[in-house]
Amino acid sequence: MEPMIRVENLVKRYAGRGLGRRAAAFTAVDSVSFSILPGSTLALVGESGSGKSSVGLCLACLERLTSGQIWFDGHDVATLAERELRAVRPRLQMVFQDPATSLNPRWTVREIVAEPLLVQGRVANRERGVHAAQVLERVRLGAEYLERRPAELSGGQRQRVAIARALILEPKLLILDEVLSALDCSIQAQIANLLVELQRALGLAYLFITHDLKMAAHLADEIAVMSRGKIVEQGAAEEILRDARHAEMQNLLGATLVEREVIAVVRER
């Protein structure tokens, strides 16, 4: 099967800032390559500072690459100008970690969810509300949420709104940047299940960025482990979890769960 998206030798370097180069330049992502098949999930796992969020931002075309290619829909989206990108963007959407900051607190849920339609300019005002209600339904929120503001919602509900917003343009790939990390444990499971459901129903591909190996194990078909800007382990989920060889993996494993639990989780799937 053709991969939905193929990343080749992605490098992201942040320039030094300030006149005297007070903040040193540093390489966040050091030549990373992977691909994601349609309808499948690749989990990008690593500690904070490993560069995984930068990969996500680059894939979502919110940051410019220093070098490398991102093949999506037959184009190298890394080289597209903003105008051309606009046509591509609906198919590549991102959901952020903290819904408290990714939703404009002054807007209502309807405005937030319908914003992509407004920006893309394809749908008239009245219909936008209808679309918004439909997509809210998908994330299991009723129409009564339309006129509420983010401050009136719980963390889980906000994240659902964020996911709904990402879905309204009918993307093929969702980049989920630590979307569960800001939620309570019980809510995490709910949202994770919702994501699985949506994937099955809509045939979405996911790039699931996380530091939580357990979650990755639950959701992912493939896992790539990042450490200091490089991918140090990559492969099918079961193999990665079983082989747990590299130091970084040991780190993540030690931090999140015991080996036996890993095997149990793997067997569960």
Positions touching other proteins (CB under 8 A) are 19-20, 22, 24, 60-62, 85-86, 89-90, 93-94, 96-98, 101-104, 106, 112, 115-116, 119-120, 162, 165, 169
116 vs 229 by CB, closer to other proteins = 116
β-pairing, 230-236 with 75-76? Answer: unpaired
Closest contact distance (angstroms) between CB of 108 and other proteins is: 13
Q: CA separation (Å) from 93 to 177, 243, 263?
A: 11, 32, 33
Instruction: Please report, as a single letter, which amino acid is at residue 198.
Output: L
Give the number of other CB atoms < 10 A from CB of residue 38.
Answer: 14
Length of the chain: 269
To other proteins, the closest distance from the beta carbon of 241 in angstroms equals: 31
Q: Are 96 and 177 in contact (CB under 8 A)?
A: yes
Closest distance to other proteins from the beta carbon of 150 (Å): 9
* Closest distance of CB 169 from other proteins, Å: 7
Min CB(124)–other proteins separation in Å: 17
Query: Closest approach of Cβ 98 to other proteins, in Å?
Result: 7
Counting beta carbons within 10 angstroms of the beta carbon of residue 237, is it exposed (0 to 12), middle (13 to 18) or buried (19 or more)? buried
Q: Which is nearer to other proteins, 49 or 254 (CB)?
A: 49
Q: Where are the beta strands (DSSP E) in 80-154?
A: 92-95
Closer residue to other proteins, CB minimum distance, 84 or 147: 84
Nearer to other proteins, 5 or 162 (CB): 162
**Nearer residue to other proteins within complex by CB, 68 or 171:** 171
Residue 229 CA: distances (Å) to CA of 48, 51, 95 = 11, 5, 21
CB closer to other proteins out of 97 and 210: 97
Say which residue the tokens 């051309």 belong to: 84
